[in-house]
Amino acid sequence: MLVGHNPSMHGAAYAIDDGTGDPDAIRWLRSEFPTSAVAIFELAAPWADVGTDCGCLTAAGAPRA
């Protein structure tokens, strides 16, 4: 689990995404990343090797008020 603040977290999630995941989650990630947002990735590499385009985005969203 990685927790942080924007704009860093949106940038990190966008960078990790390899574009092969859930189309709705990818569309959402590319359009917004509000407070309390969550992005869930499947990673094929150990955390120490995580870099650009290395994670499959399986879900993304934020709680609704």
Q: What is the pLDDT of residues 7-64, one digit of tens each?
A: 899 999 999 999 999 999 999 999 989 988 999 999 988 989 999 999 999 999 998 7
Check pLDDT > 70 for residue 2. yes
Domain membership of residue 63 (yes or no) is yes
Check pLDDT > 70 for residue 65. no
Backbone angles phi, psi at 39, to 5 degrees: -125, 130
Helix axes 23-31, 8-16, angle to 10 degrees: 150
Enclosing domain of residue 55: 1-20+36-65
Domain membership of residue 12 (yes or no) is yes
Domain membership of residue 46 (yes or no) is yes
28/24 Cα distance (integer angstroms): 6
pLDDT at 5: 87
State the total domains in the chain: 1
19/52 Cα distance (integer angstroms): 11
**In Å, what is the CA distance from 30 to each residue of 8, 25, 54?**
14, 9, 16
Domain membership of residue 4 (yes or no) is yes
Domain membership of residue 42 (yes or no) is yes
pLDDT at 15: 95
Domain membership of residue 51 (yes or no) is yes
